[in-house]
């Protein structure tokens, strides 16, 4: 996993955006657009929609940069929360809320990217690349870890996760709630 973001000063860049420095926004875009786009596209599963979301996210980051408060968390975290929120809100209602047949669900998956993360998550190094949350996730039962990953990384609804792991919806809800309790305890 590449880690060049360690060298990039996200906080200073956001502050420059807040000061109205257009070049800072462009540097941020050049630095992060690829990963942001990957994250957003996973969630909305549509390239054109993902570009709309990334566009809106960048405009939001630019116009709201002054509201970023370093005391509330990292600048990079703030950037991703803006983008992920927009992506989650842009998820297609009809596909999310209807009873999606398993086959249809698989058809709309990006199988290649899914296989990629599954390969990563099954390897020994994945927990390292994901840092502390990776180690704590590694302590969960595999199926419960998958539920968390399907939700956060793939943007699947609980109903879709239930179909994917072939477990009842109520079970998946309970797994997720318990996993959150366990993760919080593990990371505190």
Partner 1 sequence: MNQTISPSFPDDADSAQQALAGEYVLGTLTREERQAVDALLPSNPALREAVDAWQQRFLPLVSLVEPVQPSAHLWQRIERSLEQAAAASPVPAVPVRAARKALPWWRDFESLALWRGLTAGGFALATLLAALLVLKVAAPLPDTRYMVVLVAPQDKSPGWVMQTSSARKIELIPLGAMEVPADKALELWTKADEWNAPISLGLVKPGERVEVPLDRIPGVQANQLFELTLEPPTGSPTGRPTGPIHFIGRSVKVS
In the range 30-69, which residues lie near partner 1 by CB under 8 A?
33-35, 37-39, 41-43, 50-51, 54-56, 58-60, 62-63
Interacting span for partner 1 (CB under 8 A) from 8-16, 100-108, 173-181: 173-181
Q: Tell which positions 103-132 bind partner 1, by CB under 8 A.
A: 113, 116-117, 120-121, 126, 129-132
Q: Which of 27, 49, 157, 167 touches partner 1 (CB under 8 A)?
A: 157
Q: By rule CB under 8 A, what count of residues binds partner 1?
A: 83
Residue 65 and residue 81: Cα distance in Å, rounded?
13
Residue 162 and residue 151: Cα distance in Å, rounded?
11
**Would you say 159 and 100 are in contact if contact means Cβ atoms under 8 Å apart?**
yes
Residue 68 and residue 14: Cα distance in Å, rounded?
8
Report in angstroms how near the CB of residue 119 gets to partner 1 at its nearest.
10
Nearest 10 degrees: Cα torsion 19, 25, 28, 29: 170
Q: Which of 89, 104, 107, 143 touches partner 1 (CB under 8 A)?
A: 89
Report in angstroms how near the CB of residue 41 gets to partner 1 at its nearest.
6
185 binds partner 1 (CB under 8 A): yes
Residue 150 and residue 147: Cα distance in Å, rounded?
5
């Amino acid at each position: 996993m590449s880690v060049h973001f360690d060298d990039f000063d996200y906080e200073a860049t956001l502050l420059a955006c807040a000061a109205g420095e257009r070049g800072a926004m462009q540097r941020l875009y050049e630095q992060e657009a690829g990963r942001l786009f990957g994250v957003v596209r996973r969630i909305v599963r549509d390239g054109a929609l993902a570009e709309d979301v990334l566009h809106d996210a960048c405009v939001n980051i630019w116009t709201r940069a002054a509201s970023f408060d370093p005391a509330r968390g990292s600048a990079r975290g703030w950037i991703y929360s803006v983008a992920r929120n927009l992506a989650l809100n842009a998820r297609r209602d009809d596909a999310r809320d209807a009873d999606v047949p398993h086959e249809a669900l698989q058809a709309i998956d990006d199988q290649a990217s899914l296989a990629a993360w599954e390969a990563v998550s099954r390897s020994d190094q994945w927990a390292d690349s994901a840092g502390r949350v990776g180690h704590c996730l590694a302590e969960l039962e595999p199926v419960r870890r998958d539920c968390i990953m399907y939700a956060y990384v793939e943007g699947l609804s609980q109903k879709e996760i239930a179909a994917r792991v072939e477990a009842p919806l109520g079970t998946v809800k309970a797994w997720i709630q318990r996993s959150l309790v366990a993760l919080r305890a593990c990371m505190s």
